[in-house]
Amino acid sequence: MNNTTSVISASLLIAPYQLNIFFGSFLWIMGNFGCIGNMLVYRSRVFRKQSYAVYLFTAAVADCHYFNFVLLTRILQNGFRIPVMNRYLVICKLRQFSTFWGNIVSFSLFSFAIIDRLLSVQRSNTYRQWSNRVSVAYKMIILIPLFWLLLIGHRLILYRIKNGTCGPPDGLYNDYDNYFQVIFSSLSSTVVMAILAYLLIKSERGIANRRVVPMNSISANISQKNSMLKDMDAQLTKMLVTESIIAVVTYFPYAVQLTYSNITQTWYKTPLQIAWENIFIELIHLLNYVFFATSFYVSLISNVGFRRKIKQLLKINKYIQSDGQTITFRRDATMIQ
């Protein structure tokens, strides 16, 4: 009986490390491929004149930083047990700042892309004229990171290594920092994304209901072109809604976990309870990276224009033979939070 208990305890203790090594590494690889793909597509000539693409390109840049610093240091420390954060003060400060800053900046940029789409489908010209303003988008991608830097920059100053652990000083600042992260990095993100997804779905339904049947050949041709544009808008809307749902599903457990950890941090817990909680905490924190890692693949599945651009970037051409068959070939191309 004691041997069985020891084996189970050892399995529970090693599970959080294994999660970070295997699941974390999988997310890191998929996320980097996705970031590169998003940046290539949204900086192409087709997309760069769209303000939503400016937001999504900048979000992809922020995601690259998030994966290659925040997630990578997590894998090293919480997976391979290399204490990069608890040994070097500079990495401690930068990493704890980037954990919050990179998350909320990428989320904010994605939210502005949704808001831009919402404005573009409104009936009122007053609202529509504010959509697809590329000049405004370029200003916002500078202001958004600066805004959050001002709110979260205190971590770069006040965080320190104490007793071998990187974290905030004890006392009032510790409570403020914890609950500030709970509110802005998880709870508000979940609520905002749910509201934006609902408004986006509602707007798309309103567009569908406003479609009319053409009365003659001229109007039929115009309607056909408009229908193609609406189909593209519908695909983009589907992509954004899907990503919004993923954000809600992955952010909500993170919000619950952060709230629970802050409330119960002074409670007595058995070693077995702590072991199980550590597993769930690591899993939930890793799931928080899923939203950032999946945007490219969601776009690839749900958006025909996005797939077409990827094929062009990969130098894939389609040739139609006389018998109607299509041949496709590729040219040779030269424990932390």
DSSP 287-298: HTTHHHHHHHHH
Residue 329 has pLDDT above 80, yes or no: no
Give the tens place of pLDDT for each residue, 58-115.
999 999 999 999 999 999 999 999 999 999 999 999 999 999 999 999 999 999 999 9
Query: What Cα–Cα distance (Å) separates residue 62 from each residue in 27, 186, 203, 247?
Result: 16, 18, 28, 16
Least confident of 2-11, 255-264, 301-310, 314-323: 314-323
Q: Say if residues 37 and 310 touch (Cβ distance below 8 Å).
A: yes
Give the tens place of pLDDT for each residue, 268-284.
888 888 889 999 999 99
Average pLDDT over residues 231-247: 77
What is the per-residue burial (b if ≥16 Cβ within 10 Å, else e) of 17-48? bebbbebbeebbebbbebbebbbbbbeeeebe
CB burial class (10 A; 0-12, 13-18, 19+) of residue 217? exposed
pLDDT at 234: 66
Least confident of 18-22, 111-115, 197-201: 197-201
Q: How far apart are CA 336 and CA 84, in angstroms?
A: 11
* Paired tokens of 9: 């305890």
Give domain limits for the chain.
12-210+225-310
Give the tens place of pLDDT for each residue, 281-302.
999 999 999 999 999 999 888 8
Residue of 74 and 48 predicted with greater confidence: 74
The terminus-to-terminus CA distance of the chain in angstroms comes to 35
* Paired tokens of 119: 């404005």
Which CATH class, in words, describes the domain spanning 12-210+225-310? mainly alpha
